[in-house]
Amino acid sequence: MTIELAVIGGTGVYALGELADVETHQPVTPYGAPSGPVRVGTYAGRRVAFLARHGEGHSLPPHRINYRANLAALKALGATRVLALNTVGGITERFGPRVLACPEQLIDYTWGRISTLCEEPGSEVLHVDFGDPYTPSLRRQVVAAAAQASVALVDGGCYGATQGPRLETRAEIARMRRDGCDLVGMTGMPEAGLARELGLDYACLAIVANWAAGAGPEVDEVITLQDVLDNVSAAMAGVPELLRRVLAG
């Protein structure tokens, strides 16, 4: 049976509360095992899959996530559309803590991650178009769903994907701002590129957890995990209704 939407949860999002009649799958893909079990169930009357990107106990740092296995597992279960929840830092004015955003561009600063399906000898060489890294039709649906659900969401922005797991220096964030980044996170790539190689529709729902280093009004602000988690759970308040509208659309 097809899956209407696959949701990948990021830091602070380890389950979809409303998922009912849940079946648990432990798929193994040609790329290895995903971060954890894939939960498939009913959400607002539609079949939805959920996978916690860092594992259900948040055991995987961003550079150790098997992004290929995660996406291949969702595809093998019948997903064609993926909504990625990504916890991020905000760099520019409109993207303060607790904001939800649906970025439309990205810049990849990660290194040393397996970032393509063309890794193995003999695999087909792919040069997928990536001018619009997020699928425009899925982005439009997310933006429209937020408006219908009266959930505040910033439509647009550029996501800068950093290597982590440490947070960035102020100079790194200043450079990213000059590059045109509005948001910074550690998991946006290679996930988006791999989704394109796999032919999956893919959009990002970014949840701003903190001001990135040096970006906020308080000069000496130290970013704590507790602030990150508190802001994510506050920003997530409107997400269930947003998802219901995406599924209805």
Q: In the bound complex, which residue of the shown chain has the CB atom lying closest to ligand HPA?
A: 89
Residue for token digits 């648990």? 24
Nearer of residues 29 and 105 to ligand HPA, judged by Cβ: 105
Is 210 a known ligand-binding residue?
yes
Using the minimum distance from each CB to ligand HPA, give the nearer residue, 102 or 228. Answer: 228
In the complex with ligand HPA, the residue whose CB is nearer, 80 or 92, is: 92
Cβ atoms 74, 51 nearer than 8 A: yes
Least separation in angstroms between CB 88 and ligand HPA:
5
- 211 annotated ligand binder: yes
Is residue 37 reached through a cis peptide bond, with omega within 30 degrees of 0 on the bond before it? no
Give the residue from 228, 204, 213, 187 showing the smallest Cα distance to 82: 204
Q: How far is the CB of 85 from ligand HPA (least distance, A)?
A: 12
Q: Which is nearer to ligand HPA, 221 or 241 (CB)?
A: 221
Site residues (CB under 6 A) for ligand HPA?
Answer: 87-89, 162, 167-168, 184-186, 209-210, 212, 223, 228
- Residue 224 is assigned to a ligand binding site: no
CA distance 157 to 182: 6
Whichever of 186 and 200 has its CB closer to ligand HPA, that residue is: 186
Distance in angstroms (rounded) separating the CA atoms of residues 94 and 72: 34
Structure tokens at 59: 């055991």
Q: Is 187 annotated as a binding residue?
A: yes
Q: What is the DSSP string of 169-219?
A: PHHHHHHHHHHT-SEEESSSTTHHHHHHHTT-EEEEEEEEEEEPTTTSS-T
Could you tell me the smallest distance in angstroms from the CB atom of residue 199 to ligand HPA? 28
Q: Rounded to an integer, what distance in angstroms lies between the CA atom of residue 156 and that of residue 169? A: 24
Question: Is residue 11 part of an annotated ligand binding site?
Answer: yes
**Number of Cβ atoms within 10 Å of the Cβ of 220:** 5
Least Å distance, CB 184 to ligand HPA, is: 4
* Shortest Å, Cβ 87 to ligand HPA: 5
Annotated binding site for substrate: 186, 210-212
Annotated binding site for phosphate: 11, 53-54, 187
Annotated binding site: 11, 53-54, 186-187, 210-212
